[in-house]
Amino acid sequence: MSDNQTTYSAVLGVVLTNARKERSIEQGEMAKRMGLSQASYSRLESGKSSLSVDQLYMAAGALRVKPEEITARLNNTITQLRESDVKVVPLIRGNATGAKEGNEVGALVAGAALGALVFGLFSNK
């Protein structure tokens, strides 16, 4: 994956991380509220795993917001990333068509770089 590319899952993970931190909720507490292990929840925030629709609603409940707030933040963040020439693509699963064609999902920009970019985008408002 190129330096100017990330996944929808990674962006959603950053959105959840920011929303959780805004509410001063520790990652372990968030996982507990959602009925997940901290390791499973950590994979969601890092973009290594995709949230199911059920988990999206559980996360919204844990954050005490409507699911629409999370999806609105996701859409706004994706728009801002695209305006910054960052391509947002689906997370390629190991069993998906084309998964074996050299897509290096493990090399995605999610971590600190994406977090810093998104934080910087929201800090300017």
The pTM of the full predicted model, rounded to 2 decimals, is 0.75
Residue 5 is given by DSSP the state E
φ and ψ at 6, to 5 degrees? -145, 180
Write down the pLDDT at residue 92.
79
The matching CATH number, chosen from 3.90.550.10, 1.10.260.40, 1.10.357.10, 1.10.3720.10, for 5-123 is 1.10.260.40
For residue 107, name the pLDDT band (cuts at 50, 70, 90). very low
Where would I find the beta strands (DSSP E) of 1-125?
5-7, 87-89
The ranges assigned to domains in the chain are: 5-123
pLDDT tens-place string over residues 39-51: 999 999 999 999 9
DSSP SS3 for 92: coil
Q: Where are the alpha helices (DSSP H) in the chain?
A: 8-22, 27-34, 38-46, 53-63, 67-83, 115-123
